[in-house]
């Protein structure tokens, strides 16, 4: 597992395999079943966003597709101005409970 160092703590990067292990343990499922549930959940979120729907998980957060405006940028290689086209981006907005859960008191 990849590890990143922060100023005062060590943070782990959790991938699909580790996440499915944790789901299996908490939901008392086999690891194969948990992996299938995780993939089905991610597929359902992806499909909803592709259809332009907002995915709201109360207590966790919301996934939304937002349009970013076209803008002027600078090519870092040669410092020449470039036009960055408008595009759709997926945004995640954490819910209140999630935000409060990660805040260290």
Residue-range domains of the chain with CATH: 1-51 (no CATH), 54-105 (4.10.520.10)
| pLDDT tens, position by position, 32-87 | 999 999 999 999 999 999 999 999 999 999 999 999 999 999 999 999 999 999 99
Average pLDDT value for residue range 16-29: 96
Cα separation, 51 vs 44, in Å, equals 11
pLDDT at 2: 45
For position 58, what pLDDT does the model report? Answer: 95
Quickly list DSSP for 74-102: E-TTT--EEEEPPEEEEEEEE-HHHHHHH
For residue 11, the model assigns a pLDDT of 81
> What confidence score (pLDDT) does residue 104 get?
74
Segment 1-12 shows an average pLDDT of 56
pLDDT in tens, 23-33: 999 999 999 99
What DSSP string runs through 20-42?
Answer: HHHHHHHHT--HHHHHHHHHHHH
Task: From 50, 49, 41, 37, select the one nearest 92 (Cα to Cα).
Answer: 49
Structure tokens at 24: 């299996």
Query: What are the residue ranges of helices labelled H in the chain?
Result: 16-27, 31-50, 96-102
pLDDT at 47: 97
> pLDDT category, 18, cuts 50, 70, 90?
very high
Which residue shows structure tokens 């935000």? 99
């Amino acid at each position: 597992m990849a590890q990143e160092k922060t100023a005062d703590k060590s943070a782990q990067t959790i991938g699909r395999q580790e996440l499915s292990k944790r789901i299996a343990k908490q939901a008392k499922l086999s690891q194969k079943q948990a992996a299938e549930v995780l993939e089905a959940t991610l597929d359902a979120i992806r499909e909803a966003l592709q259809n332009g729907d907002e995915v709201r998980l109360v207590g966790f957060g919301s996934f939304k597709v937002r349009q970013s405006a076209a803008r002027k940028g600078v090519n870092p290689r040669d410092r020449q101005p470039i036009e960055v086209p408008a595009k759709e981006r997926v945004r995640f907005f954490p819910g209140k409970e999630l935000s409060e859960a990660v805040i260290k008191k």
